[in-house]
Structures are given as structure tokens and as C-alpha cells.
């Protein structure tokens, strides 16, 4: 059994408002083990509404709609649902009493226009609304149960939680739980990661494993449905073990953890400090470090050295190096990292240079070419890469690359002491 | 003729990700006078996809889909569209050449898996993708034109703008225009702005004027529909004039212009340079400056001085000042700005200190309390503010506050010479 979510309103199809109800309802249903197969959004148009409910009631076991229950002329859900089951609309006195009482409480006269909100398709059941005037509608049509809720997110959510959720459980529609585990990796592209996990990302597997990419971070989502949480986690564990075994140090964190969170924790554990010297990332790397609450315990500070003069004065990069190799080079990047470490007294320093674009500097320095260096007491390491993406993406991905170089170094230090 | 937008992906129906593509596409189509009647979202399921495209191609004159064009096993759009028109998938050598070239440019081997992205339903036309590996698909089925684009918003948007928009105009599908003019302000809250514009933001006005807030930037959107662009702009002009007259220097830019873009232009015009010394904003201010293409012409560099030691060594802030007033103070912020200007030789320097949270430092220094200073040759100015918001919001809003202080100063200099 799958559910369908229908959102009603011309303000949604026109793009004027963003529909967030569908996502919220999908998350609630997933948590109850009810998978959602479709979201449908329709304008305030009678025929389009009728067709959408007709299609949904044939393919879905449960339809949850929001919108179209207000008192105005463009609110059509009541009439559409009556037509769908070929029943008349009937007046429901208790609902009308509640609506009138709602207005009285607020010292306002109840407009006659609101009376339409007390009409329901014959055979349907009102869903109480504690925080607004529009009651919802619960009924059965063809293959499916239908719940119509108001479009106002606050009312929709409280009615789902106070009434609809219980009804779905009573009917036995809730099928255990659906739990997601997210594993975050950095260092390889989406298709290269999939190649390593081809067997477990196959469609139809249980648990299902999906791959998503977000600005060079590739995440594996393990989705398990089971009768209860413990059983779901029992399904997740072996899949997670395989992913961790095959991907090794590419895995940096889980759920909403970002590279800077993990690096901060590792620095905390090692009792070490870090500073930054940025050219291409222009403050983006510093801002990632300082995004973490309590960053000041580990992050001492940084330099954004955009010009050669500032590279020399702030970091002590030798003029000869800049002349010989150019500002975007392995040599200068290493000198920046070393100068930054010396001048701040940090245990580690990261430096970045490169070409953010738009446009390249030379055939050897195309747009997206970057250098990252890490310096520590008695040593240094540098890497280069060629990104594809716009200026902001090149900056953000290079900052991630720098964080990842530090992470891998800290891992090695932790292992070998 | 109405259009339908189809979004494909289990991450959408499960509620894991929020679909924003449908809204963006609806706005673009509205601007071309093409009304959207339906948004449909489906999981990565072959039958559900086929049914959705079948329904859409019968009721809509134009179908724009996004998602399902990647190289992995759960990407089904190609196969679905071939089945929809009962045609085989055919290999398209030029598309494959482009994909391979894309990987070669990045010095990476092209995975065989990506070859599926060069297959198209027989008779369909590839839509070029300048920023990713997946070409789109353009074809006709039943009543309607179908465009399938990748789900990645950046790729989807650039393909719409670079290719699809022109095609829709050539086919005569665009009917009149809906034009939006966005005016961006900084310095007052949403309700304070609305109070100044109560008459022109009333619902039902033509043109319609809406207010939106995005991280302390308040924007006015003037929306005018007309037969052609000239007529729409004629409606917009008087509303824009009223807004500019009433809001004065609160207005900093239009459309997608951000504070750093405007400040960069002003510095460019004045032939002046800027450097930054950040504590609370921790690199966010620098990253805003360096986000602008060509930033290096005006932005010399910056310091992220998180500890007192680095404030002293990198910026020359006197130890006595730090002791007497504390790091988060007007006095230290001014000293940071002056030290930064001296050491970089920039015409202007901006400095920030404060409490990003979570948690405050003392009753006088609660979470969100910030100081910003601007230094120039022969002068300096400082401001303080108390933000409400989380750590990242406090950082980002303080960076905007700093940019705005510089903007107002540059305005004054330009006026008084």
C-alpha cells in the first residue's frame, strides 16, 4: 500500500508559494512505515481537482490532501470530493456550532460565507480542527481512504497529529517504521562510489541503498522498513558494515555531520590547534571552521592573502618563490602553510591557492585548478586538483578538500602515534 | 495550453529532500505567459514514471521533467520516455563524445557506466548540458512537447535558460509576459518596511508588490503582467519610483544583486581597496568579498583573528586595550580595523567582533551582540547591534552589516567628495 499527497492551490502551481506540506506529510508517513509514491499539486480548478482525486483513489491506498477547504469561491475540495463519490453535500450542525463558537471566542461575528465549511459529502466524517475554522474531511473512495486537510501548515500539522495519525494506526495502515541511516563520504565521485557498491545499491534490495551528491560530498542513504526500530537497525547494520569496509577512509561521518564537525572533534581529541592561509577559498575555509560551535578552542585564526604583497607581508612568503613559481603553485602554497603555522603558533596550518574563475590564467592554470597544502611541526604535504563547477563551487569544494587532507592526516597520526 | 512539471526521485516522495525545481520552473513559465496546471512528483519506479508521463502527455501541452537522467541504476527517465512513445533507445555518438571530453578535461577516466547517458529515445533531440554529464531530452508525445532535464538545480536551470526557453519561444508557446522587478534593501525589518509602503503592498493592486525577507535583506517584488515587456515595465516604473523615494538609502540593489556586488562596484568606481579583520564573522565577511568575480582588484586580503594572541601579532592590537575593554568591544574592533588598514595598505578596513553563540559571555555581552568598525585614512567609525538568530545567522548578518556600513560611507564620500 502506497500513499499519495495532493496539494491544492493556484499559488502553488504558479510558483508564487513553495509547497512544503507534501514533504512534511511524507516524512510523517515514512516514520509510520507508510511509503509515499506520489505528490500531486493542482491549481484551484474543479476538473483538474476531480481528475487528480480520481487517479489517486485508484492507485493509492491512502490519499492525504491539503488546501481548498477555506470559505471562499476558489475553495473546491468539498464539492470535488462529493462529486468523486457521487454523493450530495450535507449540512453538519455540530461542525457549524464549532465554527460559530470559534468566531464568538474571538469577539467576531461569524460571516455567513463560512457556513459552506460545515457541509460534507454524504457519508464522510469531519476531522476536527482546533486551530482554525475549516474542519477536515475523512472518507473512502474506490480503493482508498481520503483525508482532506486545510492548506495552512500549522492547522494541517496539528490535525494530522491530533486525529489522522491515530486513525491510520487504528486502521492498521501503519506498517512499522521506516528508518534512514546516512553515511557521508568525500574523495570520490558519485559513479566511482557506486562502482564499489554496485551490488548493494541495486534496485529492489532490502534495505534499499541510495546515493546522493551534494557539492562533492557523496552520501549513502540506507533505508530500512521493519516492524520496529530495533528490527530496522538490525537490517541497516550489515549494509553499513559493507559500505564502511569497502569505502574505508572515504567515509567521514554520518547523518548531518559535515567535514568541519569531524575535523573539529579530531583536533579536540588530539589537543591540537589549526590556522588557515587562504587565497582561492578567500575566507570560505575559515568560515567552515568557525561555523562549528566552540570553534575558538581549536581554530586560532587565519589569513586571506589575495595579493602577492599580503602573501609576503602577512605570511612571509619569499618574493623569489612568487616570481619563480607564481602565486598559484605547489611551492607558494606550501610556503603559505608554513608561514601561517609559524606566525600563529598553531599545530597545523592549511593553505589554498588556485583559479576560481570565471576564466583560467594559462593553459597550465585553467579555471578550477587548485593547490592545497598542510604544514605541521617537521613536515608538510600538498595536493592539487582540477574542479569543474562555478566560482562558488570551486571555492567550497577546495575548502572541503583542505578539511579532508587534514582529516586524513589526523587519522594517520592517531593510528601511528 | 497548460504545462505540467514532473519531478522524479524517491528522495522527494520520501520527504528526504524538498522539491524546489517545480517552483522555479513555474515561475519561469509564468514569466513567459505559460500557465502551469500540475506538479507531479514520483518515486524512482518505472511503472509510476510511465503512468505519470502518460497522464501528463494527455492533459498538458508542455511537460517539463527533472531528475532520473544520472548514470546510476535508479535513473529511469530515458527508458520511460522510450517506452512512452514505443521507440528503442539509440546511441548518440556526439553526446558520448561530449561526456568523455567532460571527464578528460578533469583528468579523470570516464566510467563506462556513464555511457547510458548518451542513449536517447529514437526521434528525440538531446538538450545540451554545459555544466554536467547528463544531456536532456526533447521530444513530442501525444498532445504534448516533453523536455526532460537533470534534477541538479544548477544544471536544470542553466539548460532551461540556455536552450529550452528559446525553443518554447520559437514554437510560439509563450503567451504575453509576467515580469518581476526585485528591489533589495538592508537596514530595517520586514514590518518596518511594510509600514512605509502599506498602500502599495495592498492585495489586489496592479502591479502587485510583495515583501520577502532573506537573512536580514528585505526585498520588494513588483509583479506586472502585460502583453509585452515594454507594457509590463511601464506598470512597474511608478511603483519602483515610490519605493525608492520612500526608502532612500535603504535600497542597495536590484534583482540578484547582493551587498558585496554593490560594494565591489562602488570600490571599483572610486578606485579604492579594502581589507578585513574578522573575529565573530570568522571568514564569512572575507568570503562575501571573494565571492564576487574579479574580487582581487579591490579586495587585498584579510585576517581571521580568533584568539587575542593573533589579534596582537597579526593586527598589532595593543595588549592593554584587550585587557581594559575585552576582545568584544568598540575599542578593540576599531583597533583591529586600524591595524588591518596599516598592515595591508588598503584604503579601507572593516573589523568585526561579538558573540556568535550559542550562549552569551556576560549580561553586557549576550548572544548576538556585535561590533563592527570601519577605518579609512584619517578616520574611523563603529557601530554595534544585537541580533536574534542562530550562530550562522549572527555571522552572516554581521558580515552584511559590515558591508552596509562601507556602502553608506562610500555613498557619502561620492556625494561630498
> Same structural domain for residues A319 and A384?
yes
Mention every residue, 6+ apart, whose C-beta is less than 8 A from residue B364. Answer: none
B290 in contact with A, Cβ within 8 Å: yes
Interface with A, mutate which of B18, B160, B301 (most A CBs under 10 A): B301
Q: Say whether A286 and B283 touch across the interface (CB within 8 A).
A: yes
> Same structural domain for residues B231 and B249?
yes
C-alpha cell at A287: 568560515
A223 in contact with B, Cβ within 8 Å: yes
Q: How many other C-beta atoms are found inside a 10 Å radius of the C-beta of residue A228?
A: 12
Which has the closest alpha carbon to B285: B398, B405, B411, B388? B398
Cα separation, A83 vs A120, whole angstroms: 11
SS (H, E, C) A364-403: CECCCEEEEEEEECCEEEEEEEECCCCHHHHHHHHHHHHH
> Same structural domain for residues B99 and B193?
no
Q: Say whether A221 and B306 touch across the interface (CB within 8 A).
A: no
> How far away is chain A from the Cα of B394, in angstroms, using its nearest Cα?
11
Cα separation, B335 vs B155, whole angstroms: 46
Q: Where are the alpha helices (DSSP H) in A211-317?
A: 229-247, 259-270, 284-291, 308-315
| For range B65-84, the mean pLDDT | 93
Which residue carries 509510476 as its cell? B48
B303 in contact with A, Cβ within 8 Å: yes
A54 in contact with B, Cβ within 8 Å: no
Q: Say whether B299 and A286 touch across the interface (CB within 8 A).
A: no
Pairing state of beta strands B144-149 and B62-66?
parallel
Cα separation, B304 vs B310, whole angstroms: 8
Q: Is the pLDDT of residue B271 over 70?
A: yes
> Same structural domain for residues A163 and A14?
yes
B259 in contact with A, Cβ within 8 Å: no
| For range B34-39, the mean pLDDT | 94
Cα separation, B163 vs B157, whole angstroms: 10
Of B155 and B213, more confident: B155
Between the CA of residue B387 and those of A290, B356, B366, B369, what are the distances in Å?
A: 18, 9, 10, 6
Cα separation, B93 vs B99, whole angstroms: 10
Q: Say whether A291 and B391 touch across the interface (CB within 8 A).
A: yes
Q: Say whether B290 and A296 touch across the interface (CB within 8 A).
A: no
Q: Say whether B301 and A300 touch across the interface (CB within 8 A).
A: no
Q: Say whether B304 and A310 touch across the interface (CB within 8 A).
A: no
Q: Is the ipTM of this complex over 0.90?
A: no
Number of structural domains, chain B?
3
A290 in contact with B, Cβ within 8 Å: yes
Q: Where are the alpha helices (DSSP H) in B217-352?
A: 229-247, 259-270, 284-291, 308-315, 319-325, 330-344
A252 in contact with B, Cβ within 8 Å: no
- Domain boundary residue, one of B234, B254, B274: B254
> Same structural domain for residues B50 and B153?
yes
> Same structural domain for residues A250 and A263?
no
The pLDDT tens digits of the residues spanning B281-295 come to: 999 999 999 999 999
> Same structural domain for residues A286 and A371?
yes
| For range B328-338, the mean pLDDT | 98
Phi, psi at residue A181, to the nearest 5°?
-120, 130
| For range B67-95, the mean pLDDT | 93
> Same structural domain for residues A333 and A379?
yes
B246 in contact with A, Cβ within 8 Å: no
Give the model's pLDDT for residue B254.
Answer: 96
- Domain boundary residue, one of B123, B154, B170: B170
Phi, psi at residue B32, to the nearest 5°?
-100, 5
Nearest to B23 among A18, A282, A302 (CB): A18
Q: Tell me which chain B residues have a C-beta less than 8 angstroms from the C-beta of A276.
A: 283, 304
A197 in contact with B, Cβ within 8 Å: no
Nearest to A301 among B38, B72, B305 (CB): B305
Q: Say whether B304 and A284 touch across the interface (CB within 8 A).
A: no
> Same structural domain for residues B150 and B41?
yes
pLDDT interval class at B203 (50, 70, 90): low
pLDDT interval class at B417 (50, 70, 90): low
- Domain boundary residue, one of A254, A280, A306: A254
Cα separation, A117 vs A325, whole angstroms: 76
Give the model's pLDDT for residue A17.
Answer: 87
Q: Count how many pairs of residues, chain A against chain B, have C-beta atoms within 8 Å.
A: 277
Tens-binned pLDDT, residue by residue, of chain A (417 aa) = 899 999 999 889 988 889 999 999 999 998 888 999 999 999 989 999 999 999 999 999 999 999 999 887 778 999 999 999 999 999 999 999 998 988 887 777 788 888 999 999 999 999 999 878 889 999 999 889 999 999 989 899 999 999 999 999 899 998 788 788 999 999 998 889 999 999 998 877 889 898 888 889 999 999 888 888 899 999 999 999 999 999 999 999 999 999 999 999 999 999 999 999 999 999 999 999 999 999 999 999 999 998 999 999 999 999 999 999 999 999 999 999 999 999 999 999 999 999 998 888 999 999 999 999 999 999 999 999 999 889 999 999 999 999 999 999 999 999 986
Between the CA of residue A42 and those of A53, A229, B39, B289, what are the distances in Å?
A: 10, 36, 7, 42
The pLDDT tens digits of the residues spanning B149-200 come to: 999 999 999 999 999 999 998 998 987 877 889 999 999 988 789 889 989 9
Between the CA of residue B19 and those of B49, B67, B70, B72, what are the distances in Å?
A: 17, 11, 17, 20
Q: Say whether A286 and B289 touch across the interface (CB within 8 A).
A: no
**Cα B16–Cα B18–Cα B22 angle in degrees, nearest 5:** 140
> Same structural domain for residues A335 and A215?
no
Cα separation, A194 vs B113, whole angstroms: 10
Phi, psi at residue B12, to the nearest 5°?
-90, -50
> Same structural domain for residues B340 and B354?
yes
Q: Say whether B391 and A293 touch across the interface (CB within 8 A).
A: yes
Q: Say whether B22 and A41 touch across the interface (CB within 8 A).
A: yes
Nearest to B283 among A17, A290, A309 (CB): A290
B117 in contact with A, Cβ within 8 Å: no
C-alpha cell at A28: 510523517
Q: Where are the alpha helices (DSSP H) in B43-137?
A: 46-59, 77-84, 93-105
Give the bridge partners for B180, in sequence order. Answer: B223
Mention every residue, 6+ apart, whose C-beta is less than 8 A from residue A341. Answer: A275, A347, A348, A349, A375, A376, A377
Pairing state of beta strands A369-376 and A379-386?
antiparallel
pTM to 2 decimals? 0.76
| For range B376-393, the mean pLDDT | 92
Which has the closest alpha carbon to B210: A16, A151, A19, A154? A16
Nearest CA in chain A to B290: A282
Q: Say whether A300 and B282 touch across the interface (CB within 8 A).
A: no
Give the model's pLDDT for residue A70.
Answer: 85
CATH code (residue B92)? 3.40.980.10
Q: Where are the alpha helices (DSSP H) in A145-207?
A: 153-159, 165-170, 190-196
Between the CA of residue B228 and those of B166, B174, B176, B233, what are the distances in Å?
A: 16, 11, 6, 9
Pairing state of beta strands A3-8 and A62-66?
parallel
CATH code (residue B307)? 3.90.950.20
Q: Say whether A39 and B39 touch across the interface (CB within 8 A).
A: yes
> How far away is chain A from the Cα of B65, in angstroms, using its nearest Cα?
14
Q: Say whether A38 and B301 touch across the interface (CB within 8 A).
A: no
Give the model's pLDDT for residue A417.
Answer: 65
CATH code (residue B183)? 3.30.70.2860
Cα separation, A146 vs A81, whole angstroms: 9
Nearest to A283 among B302, B358, B392 (CB): B302
> Same structural domain for residues B91 and B212?
no
Q: Tell me which chain A residues have a C-beta less than 8 angstroms from the C-beta of B344.
A: 309-310, 313-314
Give the model's pLDDT for residue B234.
Answer: 96
A58 in contact with B, Cβ within 8 Å: no
Query: What rounded mean pLDDT belongs to chain B?
Result: 93
Which residue carries 563551487 as its cell? A393
List b or e across A393-402, with b for residues whose CB sees 16 or more CB atoms inside 10 angstroms.
bbbbbbbbbb
Nearest to B10 among A210, A304, A392 (CB): A210
A225 in contact with B, Cβ within 8 Å: no
Give the model's pLDDT for residue A114.
Answer: 86
Q: Tell me which chain A residues have a C-beta less than 8 angstroms from the C-beta of B13.
A: 26, 35-39
Q: Say whether B108 and A189 touch across the interface (CB within 8 A).
A: yes
> How far away is chain A from the Cα of B234, in angstroms, using its nearest Cα?
22
Q: Which domain holds residue B54?
A: 3-170
Give the bridge partners for B91, in sequence order. Answer: B119
Q: Say whether A27 and B42 touch across the interface (CB within 8 A).
A: no
A220 in contact with B, Cβ within 8 Å: no
Pairing state of beta strands A136-141 and A177-186?
unpaired
Amino acid at each position: 500500500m502506497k500513499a499519495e499527497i495532493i496539494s491544492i492551490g493556484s499559488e502553488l502551481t504558479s510558483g508564487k508559494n513553495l509547497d512544503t506540506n507534501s514533504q512534511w506529510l511524507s516524512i510523517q508517513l515514512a516514520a509510520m512505515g507508510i511509503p509515499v509514491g506520489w505528490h500531486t499539486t493542482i491549481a484551484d480548478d474543479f476538473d483538474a481537482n476531480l481528475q487528480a482525486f480520481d487517479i489517486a483513489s485508484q492507485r493509492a491506498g491512502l490519499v492525504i490532501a491539503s488546501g481548498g477547504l477555506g470559505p471562499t469561491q476558489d475553495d473546491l475540495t468539498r464539492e470535488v470530493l462529493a462529486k468523486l463519490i457521487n454523493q450530495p453535500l450535507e449540512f453538519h450542525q455540530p461542525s457549524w456550532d464549532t465554527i460559530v463558537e470559534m468566531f464568538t471566542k474571538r469577539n467576531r461575528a461569524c460571516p455567513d460565507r463560512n457556513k459552506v465549511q460545515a457541509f460534507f459529502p454524504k457519508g464522510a466524517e469531519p476531522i476536527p480542527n482546533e486551530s482554525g475554522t475549516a474542519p477536515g474531511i475523512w472518507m473512502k473512495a474506490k480503493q482508498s481512504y481520503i483525508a482532506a486537510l486545510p492548506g495552512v501548515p500549522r492547522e494541517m500539522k496539528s490535525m494530522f497529529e491530533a486525529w489522522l495519525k491515530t486513525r491510520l494506526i487504528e486502521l492498521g495502515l501503519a506498517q512499522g517504521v521506516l528508518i534512514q541511516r546516512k553515511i557521508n563520504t568525500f574523495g570520490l565521485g558519485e559513479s566511482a562510489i557506486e562502482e564499489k557498491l554496485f551490488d548493494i545499491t541495486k534496485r529492489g534490495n532490502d534495505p534499499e541503498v541510495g546515493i546522493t551528491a551534494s557539492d562533492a560530498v557523496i552520501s549513502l542513504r540506507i533505508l530500512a522498513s521493519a516492524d520496529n526500530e530495533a528490527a530496522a537497525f538490525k537490517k541497516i547494520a550489515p549494509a553499513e558494515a559493507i559500505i564502511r569496509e569497502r569505502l574505508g577512509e572515504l567515509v567521514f561521518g554520518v547523518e548531518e555531520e559535515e567535514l568541519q564537525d569531524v575535523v573539529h572533534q579530531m583536533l579536540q581529541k588530539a589537543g591540537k590547534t589549526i590556522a588557515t592561509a587562504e587565497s582561492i577559498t578567500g575566507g570560505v575555509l575559515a568560515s567552515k571552521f568557525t561555523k562549528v560551535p566552540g570553534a575558538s578552542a581549536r581554530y586560532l585564526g587565519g589569513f586571506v592573502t589575495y595579493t602577492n604583497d599580503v602573501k609576503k607581508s602577512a605570511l612571509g612568503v619569499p618574493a623569489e618563490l612568487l616570481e619563480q613559481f607564481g602565486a598559484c603553485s605547489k611551492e607558494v602554497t606550501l610556503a603559505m602553510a608554513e608561514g601561517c603555522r609559524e606566525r600563529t603558533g598553531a599545530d597545523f596550518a592549511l593553505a589554498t591557492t588556485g583559479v576560481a574563475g570565471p576564466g583560467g590564467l594559462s593553459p597550465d592554470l585553467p579555471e578550477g585548478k587548485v593547490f592545497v597544502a598542510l604544514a605541521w611541526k617537521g613536515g608538510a604535504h600538498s595536493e592539487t586538483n582540477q574542479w569543474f563547477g562555478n566560482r562558488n563551487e570551486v571555492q567550497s569544494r577546495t575548502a572541503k578538500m583542505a578539511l579532508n587532507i587534514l582529516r586524513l592526516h589526523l587519522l594517520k597520526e592517531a593510528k601511528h602515534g
